[in-house]
Structure 1
Amino acid sequence: MLSALTGSTLLVIGAALLLLFLLPRLDQAFQTRTSHTKEVPMPTSLHPVVDDKKEELIQKTADKGITIVITDGFRSEEEQDRLYEQGRSKEGDVVTNVKGGGSYHNYGLAIDFALKKKNGEVIWDMKRDGNKNGKSDWMEVVDTAKSLGFDWGGDWASFKDYPHLQMDFDLSIRELKRGERPQVKALAEEK
């Protein structure tokens, strides 16, 4: 009887047996992956580590003769949606490419900064050398932020976001949307 079966028939039978064997495992793997979705509330402020590092950044740059202003920190999903509409359905320039829930600001893991001149004017001048040391104040802030563990939006391949600094704690937006959060205790021990 085996000799009467064609090669294509054997292939179909083999594929069916393989599916019968793999389906329970695939179902188990899918359930395991989706069971990690946690119902946790969205943050309402900067993460404590990000907040501490923000304060350290302000102090360290001040020690270099550079005054910075944090122009944005935690941002609610509603605020994010309003910013997303800017330059699209509302007046103004496009300032973000992500809707609410798609920004590290929404999880308290990002800040934006600007420089502050002695006269109080807030500027976004990346070439300014206000402390007269031959280096761009902006890049001195960026270098200091990186040394504190921040990632810089100016390093992104597309949609460069020069005022943006974030700490993602090795969590993607997808993971954050699923309810994963940086663990405060473990991060405090790393400091």
Structure 2
Amino acid sequence: MKKKRSNSAVLPFIFVLAVLVLYFKFLDQPGLNEDIPLPEGLHPHVAQQADLLVRQAADKGISIIITDGFRSFEEQDSLYARGRTAGGNIVTHAQGGESFHNFGLAIDFALKADSGKALWDMEYDGNGNGQSDWLEVVELARGLGFEWGGDWKHFKDYPHLQMDFGLTIRELQRGKRPPEQPLTVGNM
């Protein structure tokens, strides 16, 4: 008789546990909130800071170009296919909707040679000051509020700079957006 009582007490517990597992599984789905419009370009603050980065680098004798900014989901999926279903090397681990580029919060840069050609040489010292121009640009970018993909622990993305405004990709997918003008001491 004791055995039947313990089994009957366990069944409701298992049922409740199963319901909770399913609830949190569906709650955690990263699906897009289609009620919130997606950005169609760079966030105004990111664009402003990117322009400032180009000017500050030029003041140090370093010419840079912004090679990429906002990307549509389709463009992101095309990049994701590289090295997988399309030719070339893997350049990203983010599919459409999984990159800060898709929400207008990231840029990629390269150094610009005198010939106008883009350089991704992290050792290049075009201004002749004995320091890597690339790392000088990274320091300027950090000072402007950018996070550098070269600091990431896993997939290092050396040309990548982003501003997440304290938001995760999952929050962006669910419709959260940063303010048009970030709060600073001057505009609080």
Q: Which residue in 1 is equivalent to 2:76?
A: 80
Secondary structure at the counterpart of residue 184 of structure 1:
coil
Cα RMSD over matched residues?
2.9
Matched, 1:102 2:98: yes
Counterpart mapping for 1:41-80 below 5 A: 41-80=37-76
Using structure 1 for the length normalisation, give the TM-score: 0.81
Using structure 2 for the length normalisation, give the TM-score: 0.82
How has the CA–CA distance of structure 1 residues 88 and 33 changed in structure 2, closer, same or farther, with 3 Å as cutoff?
closer
Q: Residue deviations 1:16-55, cap 9 Å, x none? A: 69x99xx9xxx8x99x999xx5721111100001001001
Counterpart mapping for 1:145-164 below 5 A: 145-164=141-160
CA–CA distance in structure 2, aligned partners of residues 190 and 97 of structure 1: 36
State the Cα distance separating 1:85 from its structure 2 match. 0.8
Q: Which residue in 2 is equivalent to 1:114?
A: 110
How has the CA–CA distance of structure 1 residues 11 and 127 changed in structure 2, closer, same or farther, with 3 Å as cutoff?
same
Counterpart of 2:36 (choices 36, 40, 58) is 40
Gaps of 5+ in 2: none
Amino acid at match of 1:120: G
Greater C-alpha Rg: 1
Secondary structure at the counterpart of residue 91 of structure 1:
coil
Secondary structure at the counterpart of residue 114 of structure 1:
strand
Q: Residue deviations 1:78-106, cap 9 Å, x none? A: 00011111111111111111110000000
When the two structures are aligned, how many residues end up with a matched partner? 181
45-54 vs 91-100, which deviates more?
Answer: 91-100
Matched, 1:141 2:137: yes
Moved over 2 A (4+): 8-17, 188-191
Gaps of 5+ in 1: none
Counterpart of 1:127 (choices 123, 139, 152) is 123
How has the CA–CA distance of structure 1 residues 184 and 11 changed in structure 2, closer, same or farther, with 3 Å as cutoff?
farther
Amino acid at match of 2:101: H
Matched, 1:184 2:177: no
CA–CA distance in structure 2, aligned partners of residues 117 and 109 of structure 1: 26
Q: Is the 8 A contact 1:40 1:179 kept in 2?
A: yes
Secondary structure at the counterpart of residue 115 of structure 2:
coil
Q: Residue deviations 1:127-175, cap 9 Å, x none? A: 0111111110000000000010000000011110000000001111111
In proportion to residue count, which structure has more helix? Answer: 1
Identical aligned residues as a percent: 51
